[in-house]
Amino acid sequence: MQDAASGKPGDISNGPGAKSNAVRLNLTEEALLQRALERGEGDLGKGGSLLVRTGRHTGRSPKDKFVVSTPDVDGHIWLEGNELMSLASFDRLHSDILDYSAGQEMFEQHLFGGADESCRIGVRIVCELAWHGLFARHMFRRPSRKELGHVPSQYTVINCPGFLADPDRHGCRSETVIAMNFEKRIVLIAGTAYAGETKKAVFTVLNYILPDLGILPMHCSANHALGDPDDSALFFGLSGTGKTTLSSDPTRSLVGDDEHGWHDGGIFNFEGGCYAKTIDLNAKAEPEIFAATSKFGAILENVVYDQDTRVIDFTDKSLTENTRCAYPLYHVPSASETGFAGPPRHLFMLTCDAFGVLPPIARLSPAQAVYHFLSGFTSRVAGTERGIRTPEPVFSPCFGHPFLPRRPEVYGDLMRKRVSSSGARCWLINTGWTGGGYGLGRRMPIKVTRALLNAALKEDLDRADFTRDMNFGFEVPVDVPGVPQLILSPRRTWDDPAEHDRVARDLVRMFSSNFAQFIGLVGSEVMEAAIG
C-alpha cells in the first residue's frame, strides 16, 4: 500500500502569514524510517522496526490540554474535563511555533480520520520529528494514490516537541501544551515527544464533530467473526482492562483496537493502525501483537533493549510501564481491510475491579449498559502509578474522560439510542480480582475470561440460568460449561463473606457518589438502573 507523493517545500500556517519551511510532504514509510535514522531519532530494531524514546514524557499530559474559547464552542464544551485558553493566547502560541519551525525540516502527511467516506475528516499532520510522521501514517487512514493531492485540509495538527511553551505568554500551565482550536481547526502540540498526543488530538476532534451528525464516537476496540462482518463486537475499557488483548483473537477479524464510530450503517474504525501496550508482552499470550513488534516500520516507544543484538526486554519497566508499539493494521493477519462492520451484536464493558466484588461476567439491560458506560469504572493498583499503595477507584465517563470535549451525557444518550435500535447484547466483564481484593485475592484467570467471552459471542449464554446480583442488580450466570461454578459468584470466592459484603457496600457507594453528577441529566430508566 505505497501511496506517497514526493517531498516539496511548503508552509504549515493554514492561513495568512505563512512562514517558509522545508516540508517533506507525504514521504513513504521507507523514506521516513531512513530520515529518522539519519537524524538520530532512534535505532534500527529487528525486522526493520524503529526503537525510539520520548524523553521525560512517556505518556499523555492531560492537564496540559486546552480548548480555545471561541463563540462557536463556548457553551458546548465540558468544562469539567477541559481547560479553556483565550484566543489571544492561542494566536501567540501559533505564531511562535511557526517562527520556531521556520527554516527547519518538517514532515507533513495528508491523511484521514475515519474509514467512512461520508463522515471522515481530512487531517494535515505536520511534525518536527520524522518518526512522528511515520507514526501518523500508521495511526490514521491513508488516502489512495488517486486521492493523494485532493485530501481536504479540514484540520491541521502541528507537533513541535522541541518548542517549549511559556505559561505567562501562552496562557498554559507548563512548557508542555496541547491547544485545540475548533473554530480555526488547528491543533498545536509542543513540549512533548509522546506520539500518542497526536493520535488522541484527532480522536478528540472527532468526539466534538460526530455527535452533531448522530454518530457515536467510542473509545473501544472492535472485531467480527471471520467472514461475517455482521457478527461484530465492541470492547470498552480503560488502560489495563484487556481491551486490546481480548479483541485480538485469531478466530475473529480485528476492525480496530482503540477508536470507532457507530452510525445507522454499523461501526467503523477511525484509524489505520494499532498502538498497543507492550509491557510484559509475550508471544504465547498475544502472538499477533508480539509478531507485529518486529515487522518493518513498527515503532517501539521506550522499550529497553540490548544495544548490540536489539533484543527487547518487554518486562523491563525502568523507563516506563507505558511501553508501546505502533504499527499499521495490515500487520495483523486477520485484520479487516475495510475498517467496517455491521451494528454490534455484542457490547462488552471491561473493568479491572481491584476490590474483588464484581463477577467475571454479568448481563446488562440497555439502561444498565448506559449506566456503566457513563460510569466508566476501573481501579488503579500499586505498581501502575507512583504513590499508589491501595486500590483506588477510577470513574472515567464513557471510558474516555480525557478525550470528551462535550458533556458525557451527550455520548450516553447516543449510546442509549444505538443499543436500543440495534438490540445489541450488553455485558460487563471483570478482568480484575477474585477471591478478595488486591493483595488478598488473585487476578481473574485469563482462561476464565476468554471462556466466558466466547460463550457470550457464540450465544451459549442465551441458554444459561441467571441470578440477580444483590449489589448492582445485573444478571449473573449460575453455570457456564468449562468455567468453575464457584468463580461466577464473587461472594463465594471470599474466605470471609461478611468482609465481602462490607467491601461491596463501599463500592456501591462509590458508584452512587460518582453518578450523582448525572442526576437530572439522564432518563428515568438509567437512573433506576443506577439505583439497582
Q: What is the DSSP letter of 11?
A: -
| 8 Å CB contact between 218 and 259 | yes
Q: Determine the Cα–Cα distance for residues 19 and 250; give it in Å rounded to an integer.
A: 49
Q: Determine the Cα–Cα distance for residues 138 and 400; give it in Å rounded to an integer.
A: 22
Burial grade of 150 (CB within 10 A; 0-12, 13-18, 19 or more): exposed
Place of cell 518536527: 128
- Dihedral of the alpha carbons of 446, 447, 451, 453, in degrees to the nearest 10: 10
Query: And the C-alpha cell for 187?
Result: 491543533
| 8 Å CB contact between 181 and 189 | no
Which of 97, 89, 101 lies closest to 189 in space, CA to CA? 97
Burial grade of 9 (CB within 10 A; 0-12, 13-18, 19 or more): exposed
Assign 3-class secondary structure to 347-366.
Answer: EEEEECCCCCCCCCEEEECH
Measuring CA to CA, how many Å separate 28 from each of 1, 34, 150, 325?
Answer: 10, 10, 17, 19
Active site residues per annotation: 60, 200, 219, 239, 243-244, 258, 324
